[in-house]
Copies of this chain bind each other. A is one copy, B any other.
């Protein structure tokens, strides 16, 4: 999800598989909703349905955290909320900086869902002098010249990059040099970071292209009825690599 060799073998940390870690926030969200409705306990089946996963998977996920359920009854909602929160590190406060306060950066800054889970927007940073001092979401935008000082003064370890792609790598480098060890990147760029730094990316364009692929596939199948799955509409391996190809062939 990151760069050339950013991702270590990943989360073999305390034995919790990465796939499980990625689902814990999902469970936590469902549990929080139950908690707000004062539901005392929940079965793996019910909770799995709420989180949109398989109940066996959910039970196995929870088994990595310990034996927090009661057979014949289910899981205590409040207790599980606490355990997952602690496991994810949400019982402490995480100051976050957003770099690049344009359309997207401003939207993120305004997003209430941030603060709700231990994340606090510690600073907004932009390179544009015209932005400096402007209030966005009640926070004054600071100039990127002060990036290093802002990071260290606030003890920031998580940075969000919403700059144009061309400067994302250099912004990333400065963040890392200043002490940031986790980066959430919205710019469509492959970031290189040293070992020990985690990068996750959110790439709207990629998501849409994946949807387009499936969409095209659905449209193709529809035309062919229940025809053989191979060779629907124009297929590369069927009517040969050339035929309707505008581009130049290698040889």
Contact = CB atoms under 8 A, between A and B. Distances in A.
Interface of A: 2-4, 6, 11, 13-15, 21-22, 24-26, 28-30, 41, 49-53, 65-70, 73, 75-76, 78-79, 81-83, 86-90, 92, 94, 96, 103-104, 106-108, 110-111, 113-114, 116-119, 157-158, 181-184, 188, 190, 192, 196, 198, 200, 202-218, 229-230, 232, 234-237, 241, 245-251
Given A25-B209, A87-B236, A246-B82, A111 B103 contact: yes
A250 B21 contact: no
18 contacts: A14-B235, A15-B229, A52-B190, A52-B192, A66-B237, A70-B250, A76-B248, A81-B247, A82-B246, A89-B212, A94-B212, A96-B208, A103-B111, A107-B107, A113-B205, A114-B208, A158-B212, A184-B207
A75 B87 CA distance: 46
Nearest to A75: B250
A176 to B, nearest CB: 13
B214 A210 contact: no
A249 B206 contact: no
Contacts of A41: 250
Given A81-B247, A236-B65, A250-B75, A104 B113 contact: no
Contact of A52 (B4, B200, B241): B4
A24 B213 contact: yes
Contacts of A81: 247
Given A26-B190, A82-B245, A83-B236, 13 more contacts: A4-B52, A11-B217, A25-B206, A26-B206, A50-B190, A75-B250, A76-B247, A82-B247, A89-B213, A92-B216, A116-B205, A118-B212, A182-B212
A62 to B, nearest CB: 11
Contacts of A90: 209, 212
A184 B214 CA distance: 13
Nearest to A49: B4
Nearest to A248: B78
Contacts of A207: 184, 200, 202
A73 B207 CA distance: 32
A52 B26 CA distance: 28
